[in-house]
Chain A
Amino acid sequence: MTKIAQAVKREKMAGKPSEKNVEKPVEKNLEKPSEMPSGKEEVKPAAEKVIDTTRSAVPFDTANIPGPKMARAVMPAVPGKMLARAKRPLLIVGSEVHDTDVLARAVAIGKTGIQIAAVGNAYTSLGDKGLDVHYINMHALASYLCDPNWKGLDGKGGYDLVVFFGITYYYVSQAISALKNFSNIKVISIDKYYHPNADMSFGNLKDDVFIAALDEVIKELPKR
């Protein structure tokens, strides 16, 4: 088990974020716990120059409240830096990746060398882009990720970080509940929905803010 995985496991068992052993947030405002606006409060207009992805950090499906531990809302730089530092990251994208703007960001992340798991029908848009992309069923992937002996999509080893976007909300929310409770892998949502079962997540975002946030993530990744 990697140090990160051990830290995450401890964090999961304790039900609170571990500040010492996991990737530290790079911006000060990331340290504060995510705010929980009332049910009526909604996505704010993205008029600000700075993209704030920590707002509206409430489960997108209103009733999708799993329990006391829910994802920490983060700014884009956090998943960006964590992706950049991870030894073996995996990006998962699904059937909501086909939109031109969203797809371009998935491709951009893939171009940095990060392996992509194309779940659902995502492969139809990603297969011809010259990326390290593999089709796999999301439910099966969740199962395999919980198995510490799994050697990954290419047989070269397991993953220490899973990042996802562009997947049917409730479907991936359920799938990652397996990872949350039965694995040591760190899971980050960079989707436009707040995903409580991830370790970290953006809040619920409008489309333009979402795309801008993905660009912020990509900025942190090493160029190839």
Chain B
Amino acid sequence: MQDLIYQMKVKKGSFVIEGLENVQINIGKITAEEEQVVEGPTPRPEIISLRNWDYRLLDRYNPVYTPTSDMCDYCTYGKCDLTGNKEGACGIDLEGQSARQALMTSVMGAACHSAHGRHLLHYLIKKYGEDHPIDVGPSNLKAPLTETIMGIQPQTIGDFLPVLEYVEEQLTQLLAAANTGQEGSSRDFESKALHAGMLDLLGMEVADIIQISCMGLPKSDEKTPMAEIGMGILDPKKPVVICVGHNIAAPAYILDYMDKNGQFDKIEIAGLCCTAQDMTRYNRNAKIIGSMSKELKYIRSGIPDVLVTDEQCVRADILKEAKKLHIPVIATNEKITYGLPDRSNDSVDEIIDDLVSGKQDGALLLDLEKVGELIPKLAMKIGPIRKAKGLTALPNEEDFKKLVAKCTKCLQCTRDCPQSLPIGDAMAAAAGGDLVPFEILHDKCVGCGRCDFSCPVDIPVLNVIEKAAQRVIREEKGKMRIGRGQIGDPEIREEGRNLVLGTTPGVLAFVGCGNYPDGTKDVYDIVEEMIQRSYIIISSGCAAMDIGMYKDKEGKTLYERYPGRFIKGNLLNTGSCVSNAHIAATTIKVASIFAGRKTKGNWEEIADYVLNRIGAVGIAWGAYSQKAFAIATGCNRLGIPVVAGPHGTKYRRAFIGKPYRKDDWNVLDGRDGSVVNVEPAPEHLMITAETKEELMPLLAKMCFRPSDNSLGRAIKLTHYIELSEKYLKKMPDDWHVYVRSEQDIPVAKREPLMKLLEERGWKIDWEKKKITEGPLRKVDVSFQPTNVPRLCKEVKK
């Protein structure tokens, strides 16, 4: 049923009503002056508004719990031993506790992105006013997630105020549910976690749309320029400013100041993690060092002269590490303050004097205009002093030899290393003069520094790795296409049909962090393989950076080899972590623009469409953070499956389908409500893979959808079979499950594959070259797969 919301046509301001003394009416915000139509049943969904949809997902994709701890220590009843799914003192069992952790992780991630959005919204409204229009490029559907969740079409940045208020209210409710004595059902914890994931997508969309609209970031631009990336790109002889985190507000002031004063040839400025992405979107002179994995490594190199932190993915020990090398840290966001003195009200010169003299190790500076002025001045002053001293944590040649000779090969560093790297072997090789093993380790090392604490003979292991890898670090110079923002409506119109019919084999979204199981190079290898197979590759955040870190034989990165339009065989970078929202939103755009589905307040229908028809898969190969989990969970609620790397099992919960349980794969035909048993597509909603060789065929399989037409299915099947044969040296065991007719079989292999089907007991009419018996179902081009009964035109009894 459609619901009309009529809004007041009054103006903003203060009004005194005549005859009523001491009465003044203040109107702070007019949300819109035109009629807005909510098109679906769930605008501003509350915690349980979409629970039925969640249950549909959970019934098919059962939560699989892999606890890292068998205990619960959340309250003073405990610690409680929940081993074997026992109940704790409060009555919660391990399944419930694991689901509660999924909820809390999801809430934490969503809160992080939404608080980022809230910080930006305050700042941008103050600077540009609430009425600043939204401008994201050539799109009518400007804020797809906001429309689908909130039921409104925002026009100005002020329209996002009620959106964030909604997110914040819901997150508070969800977090409350995690308290001891609240929710006890694992199923409902998961529904709540999915709700938090959805809120996360919404918070990210707000954050990125407002910064795109106000700060001149690229607006659906497929031809953004390239940014330099890598640990070897900066000139260490110049003063170096490194911004760390995710929030562009403070770095923007620094870049503006440097621009105004013509300092880009005098000072090197670059970013670490997603701040870097947004700095390059804001000003083309900014550069990128890399992901969070490079943070400690780069600080210890001694190259940075000033560190500027904002929020998210900033190491907790950054001040301690920087202090050792006399690198001042300027904290610019109230979420990360490190106990630093608040110098917001002091003069720039006073602060600089205190930092250069070493009187203070850093400063909290929340006046961003002051940050803009201070940082370049500070860099110019402290840079030459630091460089003259040659400050670095890395050992010199002589010390290096002594350190590697000290190693006893006790393996303790390997046991503490998240990647279990063979550091002892590399030490032994280095002692013999061979640095290659260390050079290889440099790529695989996530730069956490746990090894330093584990060494019983006090070898600073990370410093040794980095010293040994100086040759490869100097060559670490890549290119990344600057974040483009949303996918524009015209691109969706061009490509939507191919996606839904399957003739473009799929959209693969490479997102997340740098906690890769076997080094950064894997991401390059995977993307190269899949893009050559005409998948659309969309990336964001640290994954987008890492894709640009390697070159082919001709010295070109993937961004230089493949264009950035939303069509098959292209490589897109949407931008920073919050730009992940646009990737999810692209599926909403396809549902709306290509299929004419109503969006406003219509989450369930849109998600149902995405699940059954759009072959999009998220890949978080190096995900480490709660934010990444929230993004994945939000995508899951939108019907987008996600595959994580092996470290993803430490998130402790996955959504895994059981293809052998036939009834799980019943869907309805929207035309008449009849039940159709379909192939398991997509087979899982959230799963991990151990290696890249396993990942690639899995990705191809996860792109199958019940709505594929025969040509599309044949294309997808081709890639699934070829990738499996190439990387696992075998024909997939379940390829036949995806065959509905001979037309679904790749033309080039049709006859031999039909023979294989015959061996499986299928009946083949060889004269007509047709399958007469065997498939689960027939191809029906008009099939309208849905998991939602109310979406059927008539329900069959």
- The listed residue (B66, B86, B689) touching A178 by CB distance below 8 A is B66
Question: Which of B77-85, B464-472, B669-677, B767-775 lies at the interface with chain A?
Answer: B77-85
Q: Is B416 part of the contact surface with A, judged by Cβ < 8 Å?
A: yes
Provide the residues of chain A in CB contact with B415, threshold 8 Å.
60-62
- Provide the bound-state CA to CA distance between A180 and B84, in Å: 7
- The listed residue (A127, A168, A178, A182) touching B729 by CB distance below 8 A is A127
Q: Is B405 part of the contact surface with A, judged by Cβ < 8 Å?
A: no
Q: Is A67 part of the contact surface with B, judged by Cβ < 8 Å?
A: yes
Q: Which of A119-175 contact B (CB under 8 A)?
A: 119-121, 123-124, 127-128, 134-135, 137-140, 142-144, 146-147, 149-151, 155, 167-171, 174-175
> Are B690 and A119 in contact, CB atoms less than 8 angstroms apart?
yes
Q: Which of B492-525 contact A (CB under 8 A)?
A: 517
User: Which among A62, A144, A181 has the greatest number of chain B C-beta atoms within 10 A?
Assistant: A181
- Provide the bound-state CA to CA distance between A123 and B690, in Å: 13
Question: Which of B260-268, B654-662, B735-743 lies at the interface with chain A?
Answer: B654-662
> Are B420 and A169 in contact, CB atoms less than 8 angstroms apart?
yes
Q: Is A88 part of the contact surface with B, judged by Cβ < 8 Å?
A: no
> Are B658 and A95 in contact, CB atoms less than 8 angstroms apart?
no
Q: Is B757 part of the contact surface with A, judged by Cβ < 8 Å?
A: no
Nearest chain B CB to A189 CB, angstrom units: 15
Provide the residues of chain A in CB contact with B68, threshold 8 Å.
64, 66, 174, 177
> Are A181 and B420 in contact, CB atoms less than 8 angstroms apart?
no
- The listed residue (A67, A121, A167, A174) touching B693 by CB distance below 8 A is A121
Q: Is B6 part of the contact surface with A, judged by Cβ < 8 Å?
A: no
Q: Is B491 part of the contact surface with A, judged by Cβ < 8 Å?
A: no
Binary flags per residue of B647-689, CB closer than 8 Å to A gives 1, else 0: 1011010101010110000000000000000000000100111
> Are B684 and A171 in contact, CB atoms less than 8 angstroms apart?
no
- Provide the bound-state CA to CA distance between A134 and B69, in Å: 31
Provide the residues of chain A in CB contact with B420, threshold 8 Å.
60-61, 168-170
Nearest chain B CB to A94 CB, angstrom units: 6
Q: Which of B61-114 contact A (CB under 8 A)?
A: 62, 64-71, 81-86, 94-95
> Are A15 and B67 in contact, CB atoms less than 8 angstroms apart?
no
> Are A143 and B694 in contact, CB atoms less than 8 angstroms apart?
no
**How many residues of B are in contact with the other chain, CB < 8 A?**
51
> Are B646 and A171 in contact, CB atoms less than 8 angstroms apart?
yes
> Are A67 and B83 in contact, CB atoms less than 8 angstroms apart?
yes
Q: Is B128 part of the contact surface with A, judged by Cβ < 8 Å?
A: no
Provide the residues of chain B in CB contact with A170, threshold 8 Å.
418, 420, 646-647, 649-650
Provide the residues of chain B in CB contact with A95, threshold 8 Å.
690-691, 694
- Provide the bound-state CA to CA distance between A67 and B410, in Å: 26
Q: Is B456 part of the contact surface with A, judged by Cβ < 8 Å?
A: yes
- Provide the bound-state CA to CA distance between A60 and B94, in Å: 24
> Are B684 and A120 in contact, CB atoms less than 8 angstroms apart?
no
Provide the residues of chain A in CB contact with B727, threshold 8 Å.
121, 124
Q: In chain A, what residue has the closest Cβ to B724? A: A135
- Provide the bound-state CA to CA distance between A134 and B62, in Å: 23
> Are B83 and A177 in contact, CB atoms less than 8 angstroms apart?
no
Q: Is B764 part of the contact surface with A, judged by Cβ < 8 Å?
A: no
> Are A143 and B690 in contact, CB atoms less than 8 angstroms apart?
no
Q: A62-B454, A66-B70 are contacts. A15–B95 as well, Cβ < 8 Å?
A: no
> Are A182 and B85 in contact, CB atoms less than 8 angstroms apart?
yes
Nearest chain A CB to B454 CB, angstrom units: 7
Binary flags per residue of B427-454, CB closer than 8 Å to A gives 1, else 0: 0000000000000000000000000001
> Are B650 and A143 in contact, CB atoms less than 8 angstroms apart?
no
> Are B691 and A150 in contact, CB atoms less than 8 angstroms apart?
no
Binary flags per residue of A1-32, CB closer than 8 Å to B gives 1, else 0: 00000000100110100000000000000000
> Are B84 and A13 in contact, CB atoms less than 8 angstroms apart?
yes
- Provide the bound-state CA to CA distance between A181 and B85, in Å: 6
Q: Is A51 part of the contact surface with B, judged by Cβ < 8 Å?
A: no
> Are B84 and A181 in contact, CB atoms less than 8 angstroms apart?
yes
> Are A139 and B691 in contact, CB atoms less than 8 angstroms apart?
no
The 7 closest A-B pairs by CB, nearest first: A120-B690, A67-B70, A174-B649, A12-B84, A121-B693, A171-B646, A174-B66
